[in-house]
Structures are given as C-alpha cells and as structure tokens.
Structure 1
Amino acid sequence: MKKNKSSVSFKETVRFALRGFKVWWRENPQILLSVLICGVIDALTPYADIWLLARLIDEIAGGRDPQMIKVYVLALMSTTAILTLLCAGLTRWKNVQLACLWHTQNKVFMEKLLSMDFADMDDGHVQELRSRIWQNTDSGGWGLYKLIYSFDAIIRSVMSIIGALLLTASLFILPVTASDGLKILNHPVFIFLIAAVMFGITFAAPLLAVKAGSYWVKYADENQLGNRLFGFWLGNLGNDRSKALDVRIYRQDILSRNNLKKYNPFIPTSKLAKASKGPMGGYRALSGAVSQVFVGVAYIFVCLKALGGAFGIGSIVQYVSAIIALSGGLSMLIETLGDLRNNTSFLRTVFEFLDLPNKMEKGGTRVSQNSDTGYEIEFRNVSFRYPDQEDYALRNVSMTFHAGQRLAVVGMNGSGKTTFIKLLCRLYDPTEGEILLNGIDIRNYNYHEYMQLFSVVFQDFRLLSFELGQNVAGSMNYDCDKAAQCLRDAGFGIRLDKLPKGLATALYKDFDEKGVAISGGEAQKIALARALYKDAPFIILDEPTAALDPIAEFEVYSRMNQMIGEKSAVFISHRLSSCRFCHDIVVFRRGSLIQRGSHNVLVNDKSGMYYKLWNAQAQYYEVEEE
C-alpha cells in the first residue's frame, strides 16, 4: 500500500481519471450520458425559478401591474411544472443506469480475471490486488465506482457556477444611490475585498473537507483488512454451506468475531474511528462552520446594497440564492477535485490489475496440422518453480507419453503430481526445459487449440448452480442423448432417472428453489461425465474417485477402459489399486520422477517407493491369521 500513501500530481490525477472514464464509456456510454444530461438540467433548473420569482416579487413590491403579475405567476408555474417533469424523467433514466453500476464494474474485473493467464490468476500478488480493489470499493466507494459520482458532482457544480455567475454579475456592478454612508459599497477596493473574502471562504471550506477525506487514504490498509474480515464474518462464514458444520462444531464464529474485534474499522477504537472523533471530524466540522460564515457574509452584503437602493426587494431573493449557489458550486467542484486526487491512489491499484500482461507465449501453429498419427507428449528436462518460491516443485523431469497410453501418476502429498498436470495442460510454462507435442514445443501451438486437447477432473473441481445437462456440456445448448450417456457411464444413471426434470434439473438452490442437493460422490460423477462429454484426446483424472464409496469406485474403474476408449489417459490417485489397469506408472518424490514401469514391475522392486506405498495401503486390507 505504499503507493496509496505517496504524493499524487495533478497530471496523474487527470490521467487516471480520463482512463477510468474511458472504461465506463466503453462498457456503458449511457451511464455517462445520463449523468451528464441530468446533471445539466438539474443544476440549471433552480435558476429559472429564482429569476422568475425575483421578477414577481419586484412587481408585487413595485409596479403592482395585475397583468404582469399574472404573466410572472403563469410563467413560474408552467416553467416549474415542465422542468420538474423533465427532471423526473431524466432522473429515472439516470437511476436505471446507476443501478447497473456495480454489475458493470464487476464485469470489467471478471473479464480481466477470465482472460488472464492461469499462472497470473493463481499468483498471490494478483489475488491481493483483486482483494484490495473490492475492499476499496466496499469500504468507501473508491476506484472506478467513485468516478461516476465525481463526474456527476463536477457537472452539477460547473453548471451551478455558470448559472450563478449569470445571476450575480450585476450584484457587484449596480451602485448604491440612496445613502451616503453606504456608498463605500461602490468603491472598487471594498468590492474587491468582499469578493476576496467570499472566494477565500468558498475555497477554504472544501479544502478542509478534502483534508478530512484524505484520512480514508491514510488508513486504507486497516480499512481493507477490517472490511475483509467483516465481510467474511457476516457473509462468507454464514452463507457458505461447506463451512456450516465446522463453524458449529468448533465455534469458528467466535474465533472470527475475536479477530474482527482486533481489526474492525467500524468500532470506536479503530484508527479511522479515532480520526473521525479527532482531526478528521474536526476538519469536517470546520468546513461546515466556514460555509455558514459565507452565508452570513452574503446576506449582509446583499441586504446592505438593497438598503442603499442598488436594487429592489425581489433582487435580494435572486442575489442571495444565486451567490449561495455560486459558493456551493465552487465548494463542490473543489471538494470533488480533491476527492479525485485522493481517488487516484485507488485507481493506481485498479489499473495495475487491469494492465497485467499475459506473459505466456501464444504460438500460431495449428494443433490439427500435427495430429494425423496421434499425439505424443515429451517432457524434456522440465523443472518448475512457482512464482516467488525458492524451492522447485518439479526438478529435471524427462519422460515420453504415447497416444492411447494409460499413465498413472503416484507419490506422497507435495511430491509434484498436480504440478505435473498443470504443466501438461499448459496452465503454467516450465521454468526450465520444454514440453513437446509431436516434437514441437507446446508454446509454439495455438494456445486455445492446445487447451482443447484435454478433459480434466481436478481435485477441487466446481459445479455451477445451473441445469445438470448444462454442467455436463459446459454450454446452454447440448446433445441430450450424449450428456445422459456420459452421466450413465460415470455411474450417475440411477440418480439421473430419479431427478424430476432429468437433465433440466437445476443443481443446488441458488437460482432455482426446486434445485436438488447432490453429495460429494455424486458431484464427482458429474465432473467425470463432464470430462467424458468434452471428448478430448487426453483425459486427466486427479483423484477421480476420492469422494466415492468402494463399490462406486469399483464400478467406475471397471468401466474405465470402455469409457475412455482409444483416448490417452492420466490418473492421479492415492489409492494405488487404481494403477493396476494402467500401462505405465510414474512415481514422484519431492518434485523428481524416481520410478517408472508397470504395476507388476514396480511392486516387485522392494527397494522402491512404489513398493512402500503399495504395502502401506495393502496391510489394511489383509486378513490376519488366527
């Protein structure tokens, strides 16, 4: 957060603000257009009423011409009615657009997240940037969100200043004629001093308010952490079904509440709360007090000039209203520009995130041009280290994987099995070495075509709260017969037949109150069916039966060859019984490939890791002799 606390130049403020407005214009021009048009009309409407009301009062106090009074009354009523209706329609249009503000901003960030390399998406720094953006928006409306309301304030203040200047210009020009004692009001020096005092007060009030607002930037770190804990405690902890059991058994709500008390920015002992009771609140109060001084000065000056015969009683209403509006407009403009300056530090974070480049090389070679004789993948002296980590997750891995082969990948936790899969699927690129597909570095292939080669069931897979068939196909439109067959092949057939709407049944109740809950084992079957439906040349299963009972697991593995057919398959499993039907087994330990061979070869090598792993599991299934 050091950047947030560094100085911000006017040039930088303008540059980041313009970039932010361009984002909003690209995503939804109507947001800016509605704010612009509505702001102009809203700001200028009161001045029409002020001018007409002043003329009406002057006529009543002066000439008292019934015809002119009637004209002014009708003009005032009709103008007010028309402008009120126009403002109501424009305000409705603007409010509709502003209702989309949050979702539009989320869309910008979601599109960035979905388009960036997985390696960046998985990076801790990127996740921290993303979290800071949400917390800044939630805690104070900072960032892109702030720009829209600042734009609204700028439009209103500028229009208010223009309208007020038109109505107040004559205040300083019309001379006092009725009293010698008040003719000092005509002296240029006195007029200059009065104007200087008014403008000084006008500038002082918003500057004090900006100073008060700067404490949001100063304590941004604490606010973000506290707001994150607050949101976790009130939202995630209570709403996440997966946490419900542990929360109740281990009273994690108490643990969370205690941490929230320690970092909560919304309690009286937080730094922000102390600042609000101290200097932050003081600056804000002083700003309000200075504004009231201006009102008093304006009333005194206008009334003295009216008393000296410079203008009639109706003009008092015009000048007092206009000069207070002028001060309000100037104050709003200065305060808004100050807010924009404070907001620049938060926009830095936004654009640091949005400007993250995709560093993975995207080649242009078509995968289809090299698939006539099947696929062969080779790891050639591949090493990999995760970003900001000193230790290698994989070290000097070399192996070849042929088309149609069944490969099992085994090893203890943290041995590099899942990292091996991520590199194979090109979610990451090797730190050293290369991975070849049919003799060509996979970085030279069209990235999206290469990704289409793989169907994967990850350990931490996710299903969406949509229709079952849409989850299997990953699409709104799908082949019903194919989806149903894939579910049956994955062992979900009996449950499918019992679902009220079959493939059209919604999973979970997030979007459909008639949605069905599914167990962990059923979810794993659906994930397996999804991999089968994609019908990719390579199918990769990372602990594909971890949530299944032994009978269901046996049924899945007994049909595995039938399901996979001629495809190449990679299995990661801690249950080594699943390795027996694989052609080849590779054993990882501490990031290195230490053994390779068939089950029969490896299980007979009593000095090897595979033998130790196999016997560690087998001993629990052996029957003890009496």
Structure 2
Amino acid sequence: MKKFIFVLKRFFLILKEGILLDKSLFFIKVLNILLNNIMIYIGLILPKVLMEMIRRESLTSILYILIAYFCINLIIIFIDYKLTPISTIKNEEMNSKIIDMFLNKSINMELRYFDQPETYDKYLLVFDQCCAIVQNTINNFIYIFSSLIQIFFITSILSWMNKKMLFLLFFISIFQVILNNKTSKKIYEYQKKMVHHNRQINYLYRLFHIPEFMRDIRVNTLKDFIFKKKYKTVDKILDDTKINSVQVTKISTMRAIINLAEDLFIIAYFAYNVLAKIIWYDDFIVGINSYKQLKNSITQLLSVYTEIYKNDLYIKDYLNFMNNNINIVKSGDIALGVDDIECIEFKSVSFTYMNSKNSALRNINLTIKKNQKIAIVGENGAGKTTIIKLLLRLYDPDEGNIYINNIDIRDYSINSLRNAITVLFQDYSIYAFSIRDNIALNKNLSDYDINEYLEKVGLLDKINNLPFKLDTPITSQLMENGVEFSGGERQRLAIARSYARKSNILILDEPTSNLDPYIESKLYDDLLKDENEATMIIISHRMTFTYKMSRIICMSKGEIIAEGTHEDLINKNEYYRKLYNLNFSKYSS
C-alpha cells in the first residue's frame, strides 16, 4: 500500500506538470472523452429503444430516433473535426516544451554524470521516453475519468444483474490486471537491456554512414571486423528478445484463455436469464453489448493502474534526473567580462576521471598572467587537456582550487566564465550547418568580419569559389548542396571560429595537428606576433613553435615536472630536451 501511495504521488506530480504545460490541451481531451461517452451510452440503449418502437409498429418514432441519433453524431463529428488538428498541434508543442526542459537540465549537468555507463543508459532511456511519460500520465487520468463515467452509466443499464455475479466478474478483471502488471515489468526490464544493446549497435551502424569512418572501413578492409562485433551484439539482442518473448507469450496465452472462458460464461448466463423470463430478448442484446462495454471499462480502469505502474518505472528515472541537484554544475553570480581576466591560478589541484584508477592531475600549482604566451607540452595522457576542462568547469577538481583574479572560479557565473575564454579543443566540432553559421555560431557577424577570419586561415579563396559562398552547407546531412572539407580545412574552419570569438584569452589544443607546415607556420606567426596582446595557452605535441612562447609547462603523468623559457629548459631539463629533439628531427626531416 505504501508503494502504491508513492506511485500515486509521482503520478499526480507529473499530471500537474502536464496540465501546467498546456491547460487548453487538457480541456480538449476531457471534452473529447465526455462526447465519446455520450455516444457510447446512446449506442448501447439505441437497440432496445428501436426494438420497442418496432414492437409498437411506430415507424414515425423510429424515424425521429434515427434522425436524432444522426444529428447528435454529426455534431460530435464536426466538433472532433475542429478539435483534432488543434489537439495534434498542441501535443507537438507540449512535446517540444518537455524536450526543452529535459535538454536545459542536461546541459547544466556535470560531464562526470554521463561518464558512468549505467547512468548514461538511464539518461538515454528517459530522454527517449520523456514526452511519453507526461503524455501517458495525462492520458491515464483521462482514461480513469472516462472509465468511471462509463461504469456509472452502464451499471444503471445492467441494474437487473445479480450483484454477486458483478463482483465475480470484477475480480476476474483484477486477476487479468495482475497478469498485465507482470507483462509490463517484463517489457520494462527488456527495454532497459535493449537501451544498452541499441547504443552499441547504433554506433556500429553509424560507422557506415559517417564519411571519415566510411573511408577508413574501405581503405583498411574493416567490414568483416566490424560485422563480427555487430553479430556479437545482435546475438545478445536475439537472446534477450527470445527470453522476453517466451515469458510474455506465456502470460498472454493465460490471459487469452481466461478471456475466452469468461465470454462463454457470460453468454450462457444472459441466455439463461432470457429462458427464465427475467429479461427479454431486447435486454439480451443490450445486456451483451453493455456487459462487453462494462468489462472494457472495468478492465481499462484497472489496466490504468498497470499503465500507471508501467509509466512509473520511467517516471522514477525521469524525476531522479530532473530533480538531481547533486550533479548540477552550480553557477556563481559574479559576472566575468571578456577583458577582465588578469590572472589565472591553480592551487594544489588534483583530479581523477570516473572509472579511472590513475589521477589525471596531481597537485597542480600554476599561475598564468595576462598577455602571457604559454605552451603546455608532454606525452599523451599527461593531463594537458584536463587542465583546460577544469578551467572551463566542464569538471570540478577533486582537491584544490582554481582562481581567476584571486576569486574562486565557482563564484563566477558559469556562462560569463565560458564566454570570457575561447577554446579550440583537439576534438573540435564542425556542424552540418552553413559555413557562416559554423564561424559565427551565436554571434551576429558581418560578411566582412567572417571573410577576414577565413583569410587568416587561408580558406577565403576556396569558399568564394563555392556556388553559395558563406551560405554553403558543410556536408549534406541537414541541407542539400553541402560540401565536404578535408581534415585540415575543417581544422582551419575551427580556428577561424576561434578568431571570431575575439576573446582576450585563447586556448588552442593541438591546433595544427591536421595542417601542413606552411599553414602551421603562418598560423603561429599570426597568433604570436607582438601586437597580439591576448593571453594564449597552446597545447601541442609539435614543439617547433615553443621557442616563441614566454613560458613552457612540461607535464608527465598528471604532474608539472618543469617550467620555464625555451632557453632554460633546452639547457637544463632532460625531459624537455628529449621531447624537443624528437620533434625537431621528425618535422625537419
């Protein structure tokens, strides 16, 4: 009973949320149910009234009844004709609002929340069901309302029936609902497994339509390799589907047998009452139809609990996600302007990624002052990129603090913090939008400004030769007439986007990994020229530019092992000297 109370509390919580999203849609649904119930009641008693008029041989009365029935139906059909398009549009508008709420919540969650596979699977499941959760809750309430009205009207028609018989049939319906509950639970557990399997199989399918993977699969003849992984996942899907299908089919077969036995019994019971002259033939016809409708109403009323219970399995995960304030990135209220950053300081910062045994950062102490040009170098996994992720509050440190202008970065508005810093990550994103949108993103930039940034990265001539110039889509995934860019061209587009941010702090993570030496040299000349007063942090394996930097930070295994100028480190630090000489010999050759 206590469990049922919690289920109801969650049900009414979501119902309230749904009604507040669109009160008019709720009113339309209630009105539709009332009109439908009126028609059901009229449809049940109509045969009895007509048979009575036939017995009396009153043709005029029959015509009047049929005309009235036709007119009532016509009015309801007309109302439905007007309301259905409105209801459809409002349903889609409500779904859009629900998804907006969900996405706004997810964008404010810590990334480490999604690093947990089990949590991420639940997130995908709830995201897939978030609209259905609210819509089903409203519909379940409407079904309860409808069923109670039908039961009230139909029991008045069947008032002659033995009350013990009605209770017996009611308990049969309860037993059927229990079976429905078992089916719903089996299906829910099956869907949870399918979310995990589908995530794997969908990734494998995407490999065959994402351009860079399509190319790699062909060049390296990886089809058989990927198909083996696909077959392995498909086998798991088939095994789980078979187990679930057998379990659900057993329950469904039992329900079908009970339904058949009940139908035969009720027909025999009604026939006996006619032979015993308790009811007449017209009551037999009306009784059979009314009982079927009563059974449907009772089953629907009881099944609503099944649906509420089934929906509640998703509601719990939905509310856990929407009410999760532990994993929310908490924003401060101090505004940080794009020109305000004078000093960035890491004090004793340590951090470990979820599901990792090794620390990504250990006791990092680092100060970066305005206008400095900093290079962060080290082997893969040294923690270079993690420093930037913590500075942007994509993650928060496990230990220590990060300060900007002697104020903890958690005290700043998170949006103003991120707007004040321009970052180009190594795994940058190029969107299937136009070239203009990819450069400007959320900014209102003139064509002159965009062309200036494209000129800096050496793409202007190519883009001006395209039929739609700046309005050319990148790829044809969303729009027609899209173009494909090479890896180096995509990286240059991302760099042009960084220029467009016009921030006084620019962080570049492996900005030249796909660029040829000429473009790379030109880029660094532009970035590091004397008149460029922006504070700059460059993370790179290539070290041909480091002699131009005001400071170099050497990292290994999550720790800062050395820092200084190029001259200091090349003469005094073996680790840096080895890295630099390896780079120099590699790129000079």
CA distance in 2, matches of 1:450, 1:406: 20
Amino acid at match of 2:199: R
Partners of 1:38 and 1:91 within 8 A in 2: no
Amino acid at match of 1:462: S
CA distance in 2, matches of 1:283, 1:117: 43
With normalisation by structure 2, the TM-score equals: 0.90
Which residue number corresponds to residue 163 of structure 2? Answer: 192
Matches of residues 168-567 of structure 1 in structure 2 within 5 Å? 168-173=155-160, 191-233=162-204, 235-248=205-218, 249-251=221-223, 252-264=225-237, 267=238, 270-277=239-246, 279-357=247-325, 358-368=327-337, 371=340, 375-475=342-442, 477-562=444-529, 565-567=532-534
Structure 1 pair 369–232 and aligned structure 2 pair: CA distance change class (3 A): closer
Kindly state the Cα deviation for residue 590 of structure 1 after the two structures are TM-superposed.
0.9
Structure 1 pair 340–280 and aligned structure 2 pair: CA distance change class (3 A): same
Structure 1 pair 9–331 and aligned structure 2 pair: CA distance change class (3 A): same
Partners of 1:379 and 1:434 within 8 A in 2: yes
Kindly state the Cα deviation for residue 589 of structure 1 after the two structures are TM-superposed.
0.8
User: Stretches of 4+ moved more than 6 A in 1?
Assistant: none
- What is the Cα-based RMSD across aligned positions, in Å? 2.9
Kindly state the Cα deviation for residue 352 of structure 1 after the two structures are TM-superposed.
2.0
Q: Could you say what secondary structure the match of 1:320 adopts? A: helix
Kindly state the Cα deviation for residue 33 of structure 1 after the two structures are TM-superposed.
4.3
CA distance in 1, matches of 2:386, 2:214: 31
CA distance in 2, matches of 1:114, 1:564: 37
CA distance in 2, matches of 1:288, 1:245: 53
Which residue number corresponds to residue 613 of structure 1? Answer: 579
Kindly state the Cα deviation for residue 492 of structure 1 after the two structures are TM-superposed.
1.9
Residues 75-118 of structure 1: CA deviation (Å, up to 9, x unaligned): 12222333233334444444444556765554343222222244
Provide the identity percentage. 22
Kindly state the Cα deviation for residue 275 of structure 1 after the two structures are TM-superposed.
4.1
CA distance in 1, matches of 2:564, 2:585: 22
CA distance in 1, matches of 2:25, 2:190: 31
Partners of 1:222 and 1:263 within 8 A in 2: no
Structure 1 pair 195–230 and aligned structure 2 pair: CA distance change class (3 A): same
Q: Name the stretch that deviates more: 295-304 or 334-343.
A: 295-304
CA distance in 1, matches of 2:80, 2:122: 40
Amino acid at match of 1:336: V
| Structure 2 portions without partners, runs of 5+ | none
Partners of 1:143 and 1:343 within 8 A in 2: no
Find the partner of 1:15 among 9, 12, 15. 9
CA distance in 2, matches of 1:365, 1:101: 35
CA distance in 1, matches of 2:338, 2:77: 67
Kindly state the Cα deviation for residue 350 of structure 1 after the two structures are TM-superposed.
1.9
Partners of 1:506 and 1:516 within 8 A in 2: yes
Amino acid at match of 1:244: M
Partners of 1:393 and 1:415 within 8 A in 2: yes
Kindly state the Cα deviation for residue 525 of structure 1 after the two structures are TM-superposed.
1.1
Which residue number corresponds to residue 113 of structure 1? Answer: 106
CA distance in 2, matches of 1:531, 1:313: 84
Structure 1 pair 124–309 and aligned structure 2 pair: CA distance change class (3 A): closer
Q: Name the stretch that deviates more: 536-545 or 209-218.
A: 209-218
Which residue number corresponds to residue 178 of structure 1? Answer: none
Answer yes or no: is 1:73 the counterpart of 2:66. Answer: yes
Q: Could you say what secondary structure the match of 1:172 adopts? A: coil
CA distance in 1, matches of 2:2, 2:100: 28
Amino acid at match of 2:70: M
Kindly state the Cα deviation for residue 69 of structure 1 after the two structures are TM-superposed.
1.4
With normalisation by structure 1, the TM-score equals: 0.85
Q: Could you say what secondary structure the match of 1:512 adopts? A: coil
Q: Could you say what secondary structure the match of 2:158 adopts? A: helix
CA distance in 1, matches of 2:334, 2:88: 49
Q: Name the stretch that deviates more: 279-288 or 509-518.
A: 279-288
CA distance in 2, matches of 1:563, 1:322: 90
Structure 1 pair 621–63 and aligned structure 2 pair: CA distance change class (3 A): closer
CA distance in 1, matches of 2:130, 2:38: 29
Kindly state the Cα deviation for residue 329 of structure 1 after the two structures are TM-superposed.
1.2
CA distance in 1, matches of 2:345, 2:141: 61
Structure 1 pair 26–390 and aligned structure 2 pair: CA distance change class (3 A): farther
Partners of 1:206 and 1:332 within 8 A in 2: no
Partners of 1:467 and 1:504 within 8 A in 2: yes
Structure 1 pair 54–287 and aligned structure 2 pair: CA distance change class (3 A): same
Answer yes or no: is 1:145 the counterpart of 2:132. Answer: yes
Amino acid at match of 2:169: M
Structure 1 pair 210–124 and aligned structure 2 pair: CA distance change class (3 A): closer
Structure 1 pair 92–153 and aligned structure 2 pair: CA distance change class (3 A): farther
Q: Could you say what secondary structure the match of 1:460 adopts? A: coil
Q: How many residues align?
A: 585
Answer yes or no: is 1:604 the counterpart of 2:577. Answer: no
Partners of 2:102 and 2:322 within 8 A in 1: yes
Answer yes or no: is 1:64 the counterpart of 2:51. Answer: no
Q: Could you say what secondary structure the match of 2:541 adopts? A: coil
Partners of 1:472 and 1:526 within 8 A in 2: yes
CA distance in 1, matches of 2:231, 2:337: 58
Partners of 1:215 and 1:272 within 8 A in 2: no
Partners of 2:147 and 2:301 within 8 A in 1: no
Partners of 1:490 and 1:528 within 8 A in 2: yes
Q: Name the stretch that deviates more: 390-399 or 517-526.
A: 390-399
CA distance in 1, matches of 2:228, 2:27: 48
Amino acid at match of 1:257: K
Kindly state the Cα deviation for residue 591 of structure 1 after the two structures are TM-superposed.
1.0
Partners of 1:405 and 1:569 within 8 A in 2: yes
Partners of 2:377 and 2:384 within 8 A in 1: yes
Partners of 2:140 and 2:308 within 8 A in 1: no
Amino acid at match of 2:222: Y
Structure 1 pair 619–77 and aligned structure 2 pair: CA distance change class (3 A): same
Kindly state the Cα deviation for residue 562 of structure 1 after the two structures are TM-superposed.
4.8
CA distance in 2, matches of 1:621, 1:447: 40
Amino acid at match of 2:514: A
Q: Could you say what secondary structure the match of 2:545 adopts? A: helix
| Structure 1 portions without partners, runs of 5+ | 1-6, 174-184, 186-190
Q: Could you say what secondary structure the match of 2:313 adopts? A: helix
Partners of 1:299 and 1:320 within 8 A in 2: yes
